[in-house]
Amino acid sequence: MTYAGVWTIAEARDGALRQVSFELLTRGRKLADKRNTTLSSVVLASGISDETVRELIKRGADRVYVVDDPALAHFTAETFSNVLVKLIDTYAPEIIIAAATTSGRTLMPHVSMRTHAGLTADCTDLDIEEGTGNLLQTRPAIGGNILATIKTPEFRPQMSTVRPRSTKPAPVDASRTGEIVRLPFDPALRDGRVRRIGFKANEGEEVDIQSADVVVSGGKGLKKAENFALIRELAEKLGGSIGASRDAVDRAWIGYPHQVGLSGKTVTPKLYVAAGISGAIQHLAGMKTAETIVAINSDPDAQIFRVADYGIVGDLFEVLPLLNERLSREVGSK
């Protein structure tokens, strides 16, 4: 079989595409152009309109494969894997890129085993090797202490997941044209072994810290739960989400979904602010790859300063109120 073309796996929820779908197109377009081939997006969803999926074309896809069925309304590994494996068997893409989300990080390994494909998780950089045309995948490992470059010379397809927010969404070009291919859902691919029977949405504050542009985190230096108000206020002013160290989570000052680090979430925001966090290696593992890092800590030797782009050695109970007040004035004077 000859494998050709680059695919991105779009993500949809409630009939709308998630932003990460457009970020994947930025990656995919670059690779497809270098390989001199076409870029296709795959949409597995329920109740998604042509108008909605056309945005993928306007943002860089040449073709969109849509499988639309109520069985695909919510992600379950088995059914999604069945459908994707069938598509791969039919169309034989050379490269598949998916988002390193809770669903992408589940679907892709499931599929890669069945197709005996190479899969590299959480890539920060993707490129095409001169000469061979192989996909070069770069990813952090050992808690961000190394960057490994990986390729898949003999097996196809070559698959990667990339972190949300690690690239900009591809811009809209209204003049772009492409093809929408709607494929029927084969009921035999529906696997009923896992049923989604409930959902509890995050309440109140935004905890989808992995897709936030700005994350403001607090640690043990905050001393007690009420003082998270300082973090909340700063997050609000910067339009960000709230993160925390494990020590703050273990003291129940804030819920586990906010935990950043080795046993929590890995975030790659544009701006990460750490206040009263020492910067233990397990915390750094979850935020080291942020574009810009700001640290506030009273201990000049705190490890967090080693990764900071701007650090203030001082008392957070003095610095944060000053900062919040300055930001109120900034916003007010605009």
Partner 1 sequence: MNIVIPIKQVPETSNVKMDEKTGTMVREGVESIINPLDLYAIEAGIQLKDRFGGTVTVISMGPPNAEKAIREAIAMGCDGGVLVSGREFAGSDTWATAYALSESIKKIGAFDLILCGERATDGDTGQVGPGIASFLDVSLATYVSRIVETDEKEIVVERLIEDGYETLAMRLPALVTVVKEISYPRLPTLRGKQKARKTAVPVWAAAEIGIDAAKLGLNGSPTRVVKIEMPKVTRGGKIVPAPDEESAVRAVDGLVDFLKSKDFI
Ligand X SMILES: Cc1cc2nc3c(=O)[nH]c(=O)nc-3n(C[C@H](O)[C@H](O)[C@H](O)COP(=O)(O)OP(=O)(O)OC[C@H]3O[C@@H](n4cnc5c(N)ncnc54)[C@H](O)[C@@H]3O)c2cc1C
Q: How crowded is residue 70: how many other Cβ atoms within 10 Å of its Cβ? A: 10
Supply the Cα-derived Rg of the chain in whole angstroms: 22
Q: Can you tell me which residue has the tokens 């201990």?
A: 299
Shortest reach from residue 12's CB to ligand X, in Å: 30
Residue whose CB is less far from ligand X, 56 or 275: 275
Residues contacting residue 33 through CB under 8 Å, at least 6 positions apart: none
With contacts defined by CB under 6 A, name the span among 83-91, 113-121, 138-146, 273-281 that binds ligand X: 273-281
Residue whose CB is less far from ligand X, 83 or 277: 277
Q: How crowded is residue 29: how many other Cβ atoms within 10 Å of its Cβ? A: 18
| Cα 316 to Cα 100: distance, rounded to the nearest angstrom | 34
Contacted by 132, from ligand X, partner 1, none: CB < 5 to 8 Å by type: none
Residue whose CB is less far from ligand X, 42 or 277: 277
| Cα 206 to Cα 174: distance, rounded to the nearest angstrom | 32
Shortest reach from residue 142's CB to partner 1, in Å: 5
Residue whose CB is less far from ligand X, 71 or 307: 307
Residue whose CB is less far from ligand X, 19 or 324: 324
Residue 106 Rama label (left phi>0; alpha psi -120 to 50; beta): alpha
Binders of ligand X among 280-319, rule CB under 6 A? 280, 282-283, 286, 296-299, 302, 315-317
Contacted by 245, from partner 1, ligand X, none: CB < 5 to 8 Å by type: ligand X
Strands, sheet with 214-218, edge to edge from the N-terminal-most edge strand: 241-244, 214-218, 271-275, 292-297
Which residues of this chain interact with ligand X, rule CB under 6 A? Answer: 219-221, 245-248, 259-264, 276-278, 280, 282-283, 286, 296-299, 302, 315-317
